[in-house]
Structure 1
Amino acid sequence: MSTKTVLITGTSSGIGLAAAVAAARAGWTTIATMRDTAKADALLKAAVENGVADRIQVKRLDVTDSEVIAACLDEVIAEHGRLDALVNNAGAAQVGTLELMSLDEVRTAMEVNFFGVVATTHAALPHLRATQGRVITVTSVGGVVGQPFNEAYCAAKFAVEGFMQSLAPVAATVGVDVTVVEPGAVASEFVTNISLDIPAFLAASGPYAPALEAYIVRTQGSYGNAQTPAEAAAPIIDALTAEHPPFRIQTSEWARDFVATTLADLDGSAVQALTTAWVR
């Protein structure tokens, strides 16, 4: 039988890069995709260092462009004959609150973090049905617990969670497993890539500045104890290789405790009490 093939989105850095290397180390032919393949150097260096350069193939894939998605998948099937798993990892942070954001910024967050996942999964499903494969989607604890100054990002991640939870039983009837992986704070370039000028952001925040400053202080503190990308990627590989992966996986004990706040919070008061403390 041909080596199993996995396609992973957003592999230029962070969790995606770590997952691509780990999948290759686990024996998978790994299609590591990114919007700009000129940013593949870190991944290729890591592949060489881990002795898996022969099992990682970099391809361009922009999750917001359906034609590029289709072309990438056509190449994968033409070159490898199969697709056994899709890992939806590509995403973009979006910090801000509604009154200070344009609707276009909200739509952009949804386009990348939600519709990008939907479009890639839509294109991959026929191939995954053929191999009785699986869809693994990296969401966030922010897809379970709504967080201040992350309205657009959390909305997109909540949408992904609801979409995948609804899809899972239907996909199972045709032999495709669906799993979501929920990281907490991860020490990666994901946050750095927001390119946020904090002093300027605070100065432009008007009446929201005190709450924003409190949120930033709290958030910066939380990243002092963040997981490494490799630690956060390990549960993705568990889901990739398990005989029967669960629907929902958190990447740390902290993440499990955090999302439990919502999952056991029938009236919403526990989450509100928790997150209100972040902005006071």
Structure 2
Amino acid sequence: MLWTWDKCVGMVLCCVCSLVGALLLHTLSLATYTSALPVLCLLSVLCYLYRASREVDVRGRVVLITGCDSGFGLALALHLHKLGVVVVAGVLREDSEGAKQLKKEQGSTPSIHVIPFDVTSPQQLSQAAQTLAQLLPSEGLWGLVNNAGVCSLGPVEWLAFDTFKRDTQVNLFGLVAATRTFLPFVRRAKGRVVSIASVAGRVSCGFLGAYCASKYAVEGFNDALRHEMRPFGVKVALVEPGNFANGTQLFATDEVVEREVAGLWDELSEDLKHDYGNRYCKKIEGFMKNFRRTGARDISPVVNALTEALTQEHPQARYCPMDPLAHAVTWIATHLPEAVYDSMVALLARLMLEADEV
């Protein structure tokens, strides 16, 4: 069993529930508060950890992962391969670095199968399903990991409408299409559907409108699917990573960021350039640079969360591989009045801009 921040949060919730239980027992005069609280805390935490430690043997089972060209998908495919899982790696391009690396790992008895397909293409998905059917054992597909995605950054008025459509087409409709295509194989195995959303699917901020819109929708789709699949014995989980821009190389260097912002600026009308001004352009550039710089380089927490979603006997509905600060910000944004979160974001944006100007 891996130790994660999710488990820390789970243990805290166990203690909070124990606190309520101890107060209830004290009120009913069944036990004193001071004697009931430590016993209830200990029992609830032990039960939680025991449930979290229960695992399924996945050696020899088949897991399909979309978006294995790079980033989380590639890292997960290599990790599951080491665990003895038969990996079907979906890639957008067969000549990508990820596809080449995975093919090198195949060995004499292939346990990694690279299948090129675009999640936004019905024809390619149908062909991938036919290929998968030939590879699968009679028990079906143990896991489907919806990882393929894109991320566009920029103000709402700056981004072309096609950019909004692209983020939604890949992150939402591509995910839905892939799920619908491969779900019959997963139902046969009573397996798992694991989708990658984002902390940006629960908490939004400026310059992430296109990306957040698609990820918020993924959250709703996944919750509906989880309820629908429960009678079939299929477990559905969502992984909500924090900022791992450094580890996934979303923007490789500051020069790449500057080119991205300059490209957006050049496409604006003269009226919009006049309204926003050069200072706002620098503000966006500073945000994107800091977004990359502050992102975690080590993506293993995300890989571990995805692995647990596939291997735990009782997987969580949500996994949140993010640092404590991101956990705190998410809690503030989802539990306190919006004015508190808005003020905090405005302060952080101002500090980031000032830091970049220095």
1:204-223 residue CA offsets vs partner (Å, 9 max, x unmatched):
46344534533442443353
| Counterpart Cα distance in 1 of 2:343 and 2:73 | 33
Amino acid in structure 1 at the alignment position of 2:338:
G
**3-state secondary structure, aligned to 1:173:** helix
Kindly, what percent of the aligned residue pairs are identical? Answer: 29
C-alpha contact 1:21 1:52 (8 A) present in aligned 2? no
Counterpart of 1:244?
A: 314
Where does the alignment leave 5 or more consecutive residues of structure 1 unmatched?
Answer: none
TM-superposed deviation, 1:100: 1.6
Amino acid in structure 2 at the alignment position of 1:264:
H
Q: 1:23 aligns with which of 57, 76, 80?
A: 80
TM-superposed deviation, 1:46: 6.2
The answer to whether 1:34 aligns with 2:91 is yes
C-alpha contact 1:14 1:190 (8 A) present in aligned 2? no
Distance change in 2, residues 1:104/1:233 (3 Å): same
The answer to whether 1:128 aligns with 2:174 is no
Counterpart of 1:263?
A: 334
| Counterpart Cα distance in 2 of 1:99 and 1:199 | 13
Q: 2:148 aligns with which of 90, 97, 114?
A: 90
| Counterpart Cα distance in 1 of 2:208 and 2:127 | 33
Counterpart of 1:272?
A: 342
| Counterpart Cα distance in 1 of 2:117 and 2:225 | 23
TM-superposed deviation, 1:120: 0.5
Distance change in 2, residues 1:249/1:211 (3 Å): farther
The answer to whether 1:233 aligns with 2:303 is yes
List 4+ stretches of structure 1 deviating above 6 A. Answer: 49-53
Q: TM-score, normalised by structure 1?
A: 0.88
The answer to whether 1:200 aligns with 2:262 is yes
Amino acid in structure 2 at the alignment position of 1:85:
G
Length, aligned pairs only: 277
C-alpha contact 1:202 1:212 (8 A) present in aligned 2? no
1:48-95 residue CA offsets vs partner (Å, 9 max, x unmatched):
579898321111120101221121122112122321111011111111
C-alpha contact 2:68 2:98 (8 A) present in aligned 1? no
Counterpart of 1:188?
A: 248
| Counterpart Cα distance in 1 of 2:106 and 2:293 | 27
**3-state secondary structure, aligned to 2:110:** helix
Amino acid in structure 1 at the alignment position of 2:124:
V
State the structure with bigger RCO (CA 8 A, min sep 6), 1 or 2. 1
Bigger Rg, structure 1 or 2: 2
Higher mean alpha-carbon deviation, 71-80 vs 227-236, is at 227-236
Q: TM-score, normalised by structure 2?
A: 0.70
Amino acid in structure 1 at the alignment position of 2:262:
A
Q: 2:164 aligns with which of 65, 87, 106?
A: 106
Distance change in 2, residues 1:212/1:16 (3 Å): farther
**Two-structure CA RMSD over aligned residues (Å):** 2.7
Counterpart of 2:279?
A: 210
| Counterpart Cα distance in 1 of 2:101 and 2:308 | 24
Distance change in 2, residues 1:244/1:85 (3 Å): same
Counterpart of 2:293?
A: 224
| Counterpart Cα distance in 2 of 1:182 and 1:26 | 23
The answer to whether 1:62 aligns with 2:132 is no
**3-state secondary structure, aligned to 2:200:** helix
Higher mean alpha-carbon deviation, 233-242 vs 180-189, is at 180-189
| Counterpart Cα distance in 1 of 2:106 and 2:302 | 18
Distance change in 2, residues 1:104/1:42 (3 Å): closer
TM-superposed deviation, 1:189: 3.0
